[in-house]
Amino acid sequence: MTTKAVRDWVRAQFGAKSLISTIVILASLVPDWMSRFQFWREIAISAFHKPWFPLVARLVIILCGVAVIVSDYRAHLRAGHHNITSTKAETTPILYSATFGRFDREANPPHSKLAILLEVINIADRRKKVQGIGKVRAQIKFELGDWHRVFAPCAWVSEYFSSVDLGPGETRELIVAMRNTAMGTWADWRAVTNRRGSSGEAISVNFQQEIAPFRDGTILVELISCDFGTVVARFELGWQQQSADGITGGVTYVKQLS
């Protein structure tokens, strides 16, 4: 049995308290241990009164502090963080499947509907470790003039449930808004939510929630961790309900806030 195997076995069988107690017991078996303790105690007291002791103590404290910072930084690098970003919102046809309760990218007039999709990606980076973000839900806040509304949890393309997992190098598309009909006007936008959290729950998609027409403003998209309830990423989108030509509209810019 190798030394490493013995060490791993001891760690698996005993906790820190047991190991400390074992060391204390073994120390008590050392012959003449009291005189040895007294000897080192006197040395310590003598060193404490030396003129160089404060300088050495200060140096030791500084080195310990630097060691803790370096250790924390290395652990930080090993742990990694997500690299969630978004730079694009695309207007494209999507098709709803009532059987499965999800939307897919598909142009199938007159059944498909025009939607604005926000591309969210967890970018891998060769210079640092990028970790998965875990399960997240999305909430969307519309601030269009004097009209303010929050929709959550919002629906994702090609996803059955309200939450998605974003591993390194993975991309998901969030439905920001959807036209109510394939040939409707640009003022006829709806928010889309999906309250189905798992396979044990019934399909619960709602795409009849109206967005106030003929108002410009901003949209705040927030990704929320399902495990911790914290906001892990935020994006601001510019919203133009109808442009000067009376035809086009939608998202005018995408800006990452955090």
Domain boundaries defined on the chain: 84-256
The token pair that represents 95 in the structure block: 């098709």
Using DSSP bridges, classify how beta strands 147-151 and 84-97 pair: parallel, antiparallel or unpaired.
unpaired
Distance CA(45)–CA(13), nearest Å, equals 39
Distance CA(151)–CA(176), nearest Å, equals 10
Q: What is the pLDDT of residue 117?
A: 95
Which of 82-91, 104-113, 116-125, 239-248 is least confident? 239-248
Tokens 């007294």 correspond to 38
Which of 68-82, 93-107, 204-218, 231-245 is least confident? 68-82
171 forms beta bridges with 121
Distance CA(254)–CA(118), nearest Å, equals 9
* Cβ neighbours around 1 below 10 Å, total: 6
**DSSP 8-state assignment for residue 201:** S
Statement: residue 1 has pLDDT above 60: no
> Is 113 in contact with 120 (CB distance < 8 Å)?
no
149 forms beta bridges with 142
Q: What is the pLDDT of residue 223?
A: 94
